[in-house]
Amino acid sequence: MAAQTRAPGSEKAKKLKKREYDEDDVRIRPGKGSRPRTRIRPAHEEAVSGFVVAVDRGRYTCLIESEGEKGRRRKKDQLEGATMSGRVVVAMKARELGRKGIVVGDRVALVGDISGMANTLARVVRVEPRTSMLRRSADDTDNTDGIERPVVANADQLVIVTALADPPPRPRMIDRMLVAAFDADIEPMLCLTKSDLASPDELVSLYAPLGVPYVVLQKGATLDEIRERLRGRISVLVGHSGVGKSTLVNALVPDANRAVSHVNAVTGRGRHTSSSAVALELPDGGWIIDTPGVRSFGLAHVSVETVLAGFPDLLEGSIQCPKGCNHLSEECALDAWVAAGHADPARLVSLRRLLASREGTPDDDHPVEPESPSG
């Protein structure tokens, strides 16, 4: 029997033979439903409830509730109507909140180091649903983004502080703030300061058709009326610089120590002394939120329908208006509605004044004398 001879290179060919793979050799990427990373976040059931009283460069100063309230959500009326005992904690925003903004007035859930000691930092892991949000735009002109900026959360009263003189009142600014209140579903109130320098009658009559409540203050007089209107509520104070807002805050909250300044005799404007919003607890219950003085209040984010909703006596008449009516043109059907006796003519004048204030016209950079209701 002849010996079998192996072909040259057969050993090398065997080594180069293609390997046979099975399922254990194949790495299969897991599907979306089975990836280790998940969007399911921890519930943080043991988180402590807090109230944001100040915001400064990514750090949130919160007042947390007393030990007996830990882990339980406090009701809104308890927070507003009672003195909130607790301690001050500085916190940062947790990563899972993403780009969600946090503003003064927010109710939040806190975890981590909530001792409140120096050099400690807690984490805000949840922002509770808001009851209201006061917003403003940076500007109304076409050269800006018109994006709304949140100012204060969960306020239920907007106190528009304006001086009757030094500096003189600016009705267009007041109108814009009223529109912002209607948009946020916050009850507005006029606070007229420096009545010892000028009479409030003309300005009061201007806003009488809107039914806006008001208080009149003067130097050295009692603050009982405004204290009563603020008691048990979360009120945000807004106004342009120099109207006496910080002075009022210091009188209402003796330990506030808010900086004050005087009006420039040349420009007639005040100086920005409050640099950031801060919530202050009132001795008799409730909160006031002092905001920096403003020289403009953009309303690019507010629609015509939102403003009109604040005038239920005119809302029905707007059904007959042409599509896209801005209620400022001659084609508007509201003139006929008022002529037929369905609404007070002064109400239509007020509506159009508010609508004109959000139209993007330049804000009142210079002091303006109050207008008459008929004008």
Assess if residue 105 is contained within a domain: yes
Query: Domain total for the chain?
Result: 1
Classify residue 70: in a domain, yes or no. Answer: yes
Judged by DSSP in three states, 320 sits in helix
Q: How far apart are CA 282 and CA 19, in angstroms?
A: 81
Report the distance separating Cα 251 and Cα 23, nearest Å.
78
Q: Does 272 appear as a known binding residue?
A: no
pLDDT of residue 190: 96
> Which structural domain, as residue segments, surrounds residue 20?
11-36+44-127
What is the model's pLDDT at position 103?
Answer: 95
Tell me the β-bridge partners of 235: 157, 288
For residue 9, what pLDDT is reported?
A: 55
15 has binding-site annotation:
no
The answer to whether residue 53 sits within a structural domain is: yes
**R_g of the chain computed on alpha carbons:** 31
Q: Is 245 one of the annotated binding-site residues?
A: yes
Q: Is 56 annotated as a binding-site member? A: no
State the pLDDT at residue 26: 62
**pLDDT at site 16:** 53
Is residue 241 annotated as involved in ligand binding?
A: yes
Q: What is the pLDDT of residue 17?
A: 55
pLDDT of residue 77: 43
Asked, for residue 275, whether it belongs to a domain, the answer is no
Report if residue 166 sits inside a domain. Answer: no
- pTM for the whole thing? 0.74
Tell me if 196 is assigned to a ligand binding site.
yes
The pLDDT assigned to 74 comes to 43
Residue 91: inside a domain: yes
**Residue type for 191, please?**
C
Annotation-wise, does 301 bind a ligand? Answer: no
- The annotation status of 194 as a binding-site residue, yes or no, is yes
Q: Which residues of the chain have pLDDT under 50?
A: 68-83, 140-144, 261-273, 361-368, 370-375
Q: How far is CA 3 from CA 7, 10, 11, in A?
A: 13, 17, 18
The model's pLDDT over 284-304, given as tens digits with 9 standing for 90+, comes to: 899 999 988 666 677 777 888
- In a 10 Å sphere around its CB, with 0-12 CB exposed, 13-18 middle and 19+ buried, how is residue 17 labelled? exposed
The reply, when asked if residue 141 is annotated as ligand binding, is: no
d(CA 325, CA 225): 41
**Does 116 appear as a known binding residue?**
no
| Distance (Å, whole) CA 192 – CA 250 | 17
Q: Is 191 annotated as a binding residue?
A: no
Using CA atoms, how far apart are residues 66 and 284, in angstroms rounded to an integer? 19
Is 119 inside a domain boundary?
yes
Would you state the pLDDT for residue 265? 41
Residue 109 lies in a domain: yes
> Given this model, what pLDDT does residue 225 score?
95
- CA 4/CA 149 separation, integer angstroms: 91
Cα(138)–Cα(146) distance, integer angstroms:
6
The per-residue pLDDT for 303 is 85
CATH number of the domain that 32 lies in? 2.40.50.140
Phi and psi for 216 in degrees, rounded to 5? -115, 125
